[in-house]
A = this chain, B = another copy of it.
Amino acid sequence: MIGDTPPRHSILPLPGYAPTVGRLVAMLCYARHTTFKAVAGLTREQLDHLHDEDSNSIGALLAHVAAVERGYQVVTFEEREPTAAENAAWSAALKLGDQGRRCVRGRDLSFYVDELHRTREATLAALRARDDAWLEAPLRIAPGLNAHWAWFHVAEEEINHRGQIRWLRARLPKPVGSER
Contact = CB atoms under 8 A, between A and B. Distances in A.
Nearest to A52: B171
Given A20-B20, A20-B23, A167-B164, A156 B9 contact: no
Nearest to A165: B163
> What is the copy number of this chain in the assembly?
2
A76 B12 CA distance: 16
A11 interface: yes
A144 interface: yes
B145 A10 contact: yes
The DSSP consensus for interface residues of chain A is helix
Interface residues on A, range: 20 to 34
Interface string A111-152: 000000000000000000000000010100000111011001
A152 B27 contact: yes
A97 B144 CA distance: 41
B149 A11 contact: yes
Contacts of A145: 9-10
